[in-house]
A and B are shown apart, each in its own frame.
Chain A
Amino acid sequence: EIVLTQSPATLSLSPGERVTLSCRASQSVSSSLTWYQQKPGQTPRLLIYDASTRATGIPARFTGSGSGTDFTLSINGLEPEDFAVYYCHQNRILHSFGGGTKVEIK
């Protein structure tokens, strides 16, 4: 089983700040890494797939990067609607999710 570790667990930030979230895999997943955003009471929303490709309708302020075992999701200029929990997910070997990073308002 591939274990995904996200860090940090929580980030307290202000609107307008830049944020970088980390996801580390226990073994290589190549570029088979996706990122989701989940707001309270809502279904997860696909942001990034194949490590760096933005899904349809996702703003350019969201950027994914990395390959192998280390990945990052960056948000360049937090908007009020970006405060949420972010999950990484691999589909290289079966599927697994990271524990999530909560981005909260400072």
Chain B
Amino acid sequence: QVQMVQSGSELKRPGASVKISCKASGYTFSTFGINWLRQAPGQGLEWMGWIDTKNGKPLYVQGFTGRFVFSLDIPVTTAYLEISSLKSEDSGLYYCARSGNFDYWGQGTLVTVSS
């Protein structure tokens, strides 16, 4: 069955970096892109962008450019989200979701940025 399994919670200081993983299984990895979404505490869902698993090309939405990097390790069917120069407002739950209708989601990775 299809599964998207994300890495565990992270507690980081402002200015640090974090790299979140999303391991996909149960389907042909290159068939669907991987999307990244953020949910700030008590807030709704924000689409950050996606990465094409056929060619590794990322697309970042306004507001998620510069400090945010999507990448892939295709042999291990894993997508990554790296955030650098962390700020307190980056705190939240980060999800990966399979492209299309976002029919499969990772369980979410909580990132807390605090001094």
Contact = CB atoms under 8 A, between A and B. Distances in A.
A24 interface: no
B102 A34 contact: yes
A43 interface: yes
Contacts of A60: none
Contacts of B44: 87, 97-100
Interface residues of B, number: 18
Nearest to A99: B44
A13 interface: no
A95 B47 contact: yes
Is the contact region of chain B dominated by helix, strand, or loop, or is it mixed?
Answer: loop
A97 B45 CA distance: 6
A46 B45 CA distance: 14
Given A94-B61, A95-B35, A44 B103 contact: no
Contacts of B45: 36, 44, 87, 89, 97, 100
Interface of A: 1, 34, 36, 43-44, 46, 49-50, 55, 87, 89, 91, 94-100
The 8 closest A-B pairs by CB, nearest first: A49-B101, A95-B47, A97-B45, A43-B105, A100-B44, A99-B44, A46-B103, A34-B101
Given A43-B105, A44-B95, 9 more contacts: A34-B102, A43-B108, A44-B105, A87-B44, A87-B45, A89-B45, A94-B61, A97-B47, A100-B45
